Amino acid sequence: AQKITQTQPGMFVQEKEAVTLDCTYDTSDQSYGLFWYKQPSSGEMIFLIYQGSYDEQNATEGRYSLNFQKARKSANLVISASQLGDSAMYFCAMSSSGTYKYIFGTGTRLKVLA
Amino acid sequence: DSGVTQTPKHLITATGQRVTLRCSPRSGDLSVYWYQQSLDQGLQFLIHYYNGEERAKGNILERFSAQQFPDLHSELNLSSLELGDSALYFCASSSAGYGYTFGSGTRLTVV
Protein backbone atom coordinates (compact mmCIF):
# COMPACT_ATOMS: atom_id res chain seq x y z
CA ALA A 1 0.00 0.00 0.00
CA GLN A 2 1.13 3.52 -0.67
CA LYS A 3 1.96 5.77 2.22
CA ILE A 4 3.35 9.24 2.86
CA THR A 5 4.99 10.02 6.19
CA GLN A 6 5.69 13.48 7.54
CA THR A 7 7.32 13.11 10.92
CA GLN A 8 7.46 16.78 11.91
CA PRO A 9 4.09 17.97 13.21
CA GLY A 10 5.44 21.48 13.73
CA MET A 11 8.57 23.48 13.04
CA PHE A 12 9.93 26.94 13.73
CA VAL A 13 12.39 28.83 11.56
CA GLN A 14 13.88 32.27 11.82
CA GLU A 15 13.03 34.71 9.05
CA LYS A 16 15.58 34.61 6.20
CA GLU A 17 16.87 31.20 7.24
CA ALA A 18 16.44 28.00 5.22
CA VAL A 19 14.26 25.16 6.46
CA THR A 20 13.80 21.53 5.41
CA LEU A 21 10.48 19.74 5.77
CA ASP A 22 10.77 15.98 5.74
CA CYS A 23 8.73 13.56 3.67
CA THR A 24 9.21 9.85 3.15
CA TYR A 25 7.06 7.69 0.96
CA ASP A 26 6.35 4.06 0.36
CA THR A 27 5.25 2.60 -2.94
CA SER A 28 5.95 -0.41 -5.12
CA ASP A 29 5.15 1.52 -8.28
CA GLN A 30 7.95 2.48 -10.63
CA SER A 31 6.22 5.55 -11.99
CA TYR A 32 4.88 8.10 -9.54
CA GLY A 33 4.81 11.77 -8.78
CA LEU A 34 5.61 13.64 -5.59
CA PHE A 35 4.10 17.00 -4.69
CA TRP A 36 4.22 19.62 -2.03
CA TYR A 37 1.29 21.86 -1.21
CA LYS A 38 1.00 24.82 1.14
CA GLN A 39 -2.17 25.44 3.11
CA PRO A 40 -2.30 28.85 4.81
CA SER A 41 -4.77 29.58 7.58
CA SER A 42 -7.31 30.69 4.97
CA GLY A 43 -7.58 27.05 3.93
CA GLU A 44 -6.79 26.93 0.22
CA MET A 45 -4.31 24.38 -1.12
CA ILE A 46 -1.47 26.01 -3.04
CA PHE A 47 0.73 23.90 -5.31
CA LEU A 48 4.44 24.44 -4.67
CA ILE A 49 6.53 21.87 -6.47
CA TYR A 50 6.46 18.54 -8.33
CA GLN A 51 9.00 15.76 -8.77
CA GLY A 52 8.55 12.83 -11.12
CA SER A 53 10.01 9.49 -10.17
CA TYR A 54 12.08 9.36 -13.34
CA ASP A 55 13.39 12.89 -13.04
CA GLU A 56 17.10 12.81 -12.40
CA GLN A 57 17.38 16.43 -11.37
CA ASN A 58 15.85 17.78 -8.19
CA ALA A 59 12.92 20.07 -8.88
CA THR A 60 13.19 23.76 -8.06
CA GLU A 61 10.59 26.52 -8.10
CA GLY A 62 11.87 29.86 -6.92
CA ARG A 63 12.67 29.57 -3.20
CA TYR A 64 11.38 25.99 -3.12
CA SER A 65 13.44 22.96 -3.97
CA LEU A 66 12.73 19.30 -3.58
CA ASN A 67 15.54 17.10 -2.29
CA PHE A 68 14.65 13.80 -3.99
CA GLN A 69 16.50 10.71 -2.81
CA LYS A 70 14.89 7.82 -4.60
CA ALA A 71 16.81 5.01 -2.95
CA ARG A 72 15.85 6.35 0.48
CA LYS A 73 12.31 7.12 -0.70
CA SER A 74 12.47 10.64 0.57
CA ALA A 75 11.25 13.89 -0.97
CA ASN A 76 12.11 16.69 1.40
CA LEU A 77 11.04 20.26 0.73
CA VAL A 78 13.65 22.96 1.21
CA ILE A 79 12.49 26.55 1.59
CA SER A 80 15.30 29.06 1.30
CA ALA A 81 15.25 32.55 2.78
CA SER A 82 12.07 31.99 4.79
CA GLN A 83 9.51 34.78 4.87
CA LEU A 84 6.77 35.50 7.40
CA GLY A 85 4.24 34.62 4.70
CA ASP A 86 5.64 31.09 4.58
CA SER A 87 3.94 30.33 7.90
CA ALA A 88 1.41 27.66 6.97
CA MET A 89 0.68 23.94 6.91
CA TYR A 90 2.70 22.01 4.34
CA PHE A 91 1.57 18.72 2.85
CA CYS A 92 3.57 16.15 0.94
CA ALA A 93 1.57 14.03 -1.49
CA MET A 94 2.12 11.18 -3.93
CA SER A 95 0.31 10.00 -7.00
CA SER A 96 0.96 6.90 -9.07
CA SER A 97 0.65 6.25 -12.75
CA GLY A 98 -2.75 4.88 -13.72
CA THR A 99 -4.52 6.48 -10.84
CA TYR A 100 -4.33 10.18 -10.34
CA LYS A 101 -5.59 10.29 -6.80
CA TYR A 102 -3.22 11.74 -4.24
CA ILE A 103 -2.13 10.16 -0.98
CA PHE A 104 -1.34 12.93 1.51
CA GLY A 105 0.85 13.04 4.54
CA THR A 106 -0.39 14.44 7.83
CA GLY A 107 1.32 17.75 7.24
CA THR A 108 3.91 19.94 8.96
CA ARG A 109 2.93 23.28 10.46
CA LEU A 110 5.69 25.80 9.84
CA LYS A 111 5.98 29.01 11.82
CA VAL A 112 8.41 31.66 10.63
CA LEU A 113 9.69 33.91 13.40
CA ALA A 114 10.55 37.57 12.89
CA ASP B 1 -7.86 32.65 -8.21
CA SER B 2 -6.89 29.07 -9.09
CA GLY B 3 -9.54 28.74 -11.80
CA VAL B 4 -11.40 26.02 -9.87
CA THR B 5 -14.58 27.42 -8.37
CA GLN B 6 -16.31 25.87 -5.41
CA THR B 7 -19.63 26.98 -3.98
CA PRO B 8 -20.68 27.65 -1.34
CA LYS B 9 -17.60 28.61 0.66
CA HIS B 10 -19.30 27.94 3.96
CA LEU B 11 -22.27 25.79 4.85
CA ILE B 12 -23.90 25.22 8.22
CA THR B 13 -26.61 22.60 8.45
CA ALA B 14 -28.28 20.30 10.93
CA THR B 15 -27.78 16.59 11.43
CA GLY B 16 -29.91 14.46 9.14
CA GLN B 17 -30.01 17.07 6.39
CA ARG B 18 -28.80 16.85 2.81
CA VAL B 19 -26.47 19.31 1.08
CA THR B 20 -24.96 19.73 -2.37
CA LEU B 21 -21.48 21.07 -2.97
CA ARG B 22 -20.67 22.41 -6.39
CA CYS B 23 -17.42 22.56 -8.31
CA SER B 24 -16.56 24.15 -11.64
CA PRO B 25 -13.22 22.92 -12.95
CA ARG B 26 -10.55 25.02 -14.58
CA SER B 27 -11.30 25.71 -18.23
CA GLY B 28 -10.21 22.76 -20.38
CA ASP B 29 -9.79 20.33 -17.49
CA LEU B 30 -11.75 17.11 -17.91
CA SER B 31 -10.96 15.54 -14.55
CA VAL B 32 -12.55 16.47 -11.25
CA TYR B 33 -11.52 15.09 -7.89
CA TRP B 34 -13.18 15.45 -4.49
CA TYR B 35 -11.27 15.36 -1.22
CA GLN B 36 -12.35 15.63 2.39
CA GLN B 37 -10.12 17.26 4.99
CA SER B 38 -11.04 16.61 8.61
CA LEU B 39 -9.08 16.96 11.82
CA ASP B 40 -9.07 13.25 12.59
CA GLN B 41 -8.75 11.78 9.08
CA GLY B 42 -6.58 14.37 7.37
CA LEU B 43 -6.91 14.74 3.60
CA GLN B 44 -8.82 11.82 2.10
CA PHE B 45 -9.58 11.12 -1.54
CA LEU B 46 -13.29 10.64 -2.16
CA ILE B 47 -13.91 10.25 -5.88
CA HIS B 48 -12.59 11.04 -9.37
CA TYR B 49 -14.59 11.84 -12.49
CA TYR B 50 -13.24 12.15 -15.99
CA ASN B 51 -15.39 13.70 -18.69
CA GLY B 52 -18.59 12.63 -16.98
CA GLU B 53 -17.53 9.12 -16.01
CA GLU B 54 -16.56 7.88 -12.58
CA ARG B 55 -12.94 6.74 -12.68
CA ALA B 56 -11.97 5.96 -9.11
CA LYS B 57 -13.55 5.81 -5.71
CA GLY B 58 -11.83 6.29 -2.40
CA ASN B 59 -13.11 6.49 1.15
CA ILE B 60 -16.51 7.79 0.17
CA LEU B 61 -19.43 6.90 2.39
CA GLU B 62 -22.59 5.41 0.91
CA ARG B 63 -24.45 8.50 2.14
CA PHE B 64 -22.31 10.55 -0.24
CA SER B 65 -22.63 10.61 -4.00
CA ALA B 66 -21.20 12.67 -6.82
CA GLN B 67 -21.65 13.29 -10.50
CA GLN B 68 -20.05 15.25 -13.30
CA PHE B 69 -22.32 16.94 -15.79
CA PRO B 70 -21.88 17.45 -19.56
CA ASP B 71 -20.57 20.98 -18.95
CA LEU B 72 -17.94 19.31 -16.71
CA HIS B 73 -19.03 20.87 -13.46
CA SER B 74 -19.40 18.42 -10.61
CA GLU B 75 -21.60 18.12 -7.57
CA LEU B 76 -21.00 16.25 -4.35
CA ASN B 77 -24.17 15.29 -2.51
CA LEU B 78 -23.99 14.55 1.19
CA SER B 79 -27.08 13.13 2.86
CA SER B 80 -28.18 12.05 6.33
CA LEU B 81 -25.48 14.30 7.66
CA GLU B 82 -23.74 13.49 10.92
CA LEU B 83 -21.59 15.64 13.17
CA GLY B 84 -18.54 13.75 11.94
CA ASP B 85 -19.14 14.92 8.38
CA SER B 86 -18.04 18.40 9.38
CA ALA B 87 -14.95 19.05 7.29
CA LEU B 88 -13.39 21.06 4.52
CA TYR B 89 -14.34 19.59 1.15
CA PHE B 90 -12.01 20.28 -1.73
CA CYS B 91 -12.53 19.91 -5.42
CA ALA B 92 -9.55 19.74 -7.75
CA SER B 93 -9.27 19.53 -11.51
CA SER B 94 -6.64 18.47 -14.02
CA SER B 95 -6.24 18.12 -17.75
CA ALA B 96 -3.69 15.32 -17.99
CA GLY B 97 -0.92 13.75 -16.05
CA TYR B 98 -0.37 14.18 -12.38
CA GLY B 99 -0.66 17.78 -11.42
CA TYR B 100 -3.92 19.29 -10.45
CA THR B 101 -5.34 22.53 -9.13
CA PHE B 102 -7.45 22.78 -6.01
CA GLY B 103 -10.42 24.99 -5.42
CA SER B 104 -10.64 27.04 -2.24
CA GLY B 105 -12.89 24.48 -0.58
CA THR B 106 -16.30 24.35 1.05
CA ARG B 107 -16.28 24.36 4.82
CA LEU B 108 -19.20 22.24 6.04
CA THR B 109 -20.33 22.47 9.63
CA VAL B 110 -22.97 20.04 10.83
CA VAL B 111 -24.67 21.06 14.07
pLDDT at residue A110 tops 80? yes
Q: What pLDDT shows up at residue B98? A: 62
Q: Which whole number is the average pLDDT over A41-46?
A: 92
Say if residues B19 and B13 touch (Cβ distance below 8 Å): yes
Series of mean pLDDT values for 10-residue runs along chain B (111 residues): 92 98 95 93 93 92 96 97 97 81 96 97
**The predicted structure's pLDDT at residue B1:** 77
**What is the predicted pLDDT for the residue at B90?**
97
- Which residue among B98, B102, B103 sits closest to A50, beta carbon to beta carbon? B98
> Which pLDDT band holds residue A91 (cuts at 50, 70, 90)?
very high
Do B91 and B104 meet the contact criterion of CB atoms below 8 Å apart?
Answer: no
CB contact under 8 A, B42 and A102: no
Res A76 pLDDT > 90: yes
Average the pLDDT over A28-44 and give the result: 93
Answer whether A81 touches B (CB < 8 Å).
no
Q: Which of residues 3-62 of B touch A (CB under 8 A)?
A: 31, 33, 35, 42-43, 45, 48, 56, 58
**Does residue A58 have a pLDDT over 70?**
yes
More confident residue, A85 or A97: A85
| b/e map B12-31, b = 16+ CB within 10 Å | ebeeeeebebebbbbeebbb
Phi, psi of A85 (to 5 degrees): -70, -5
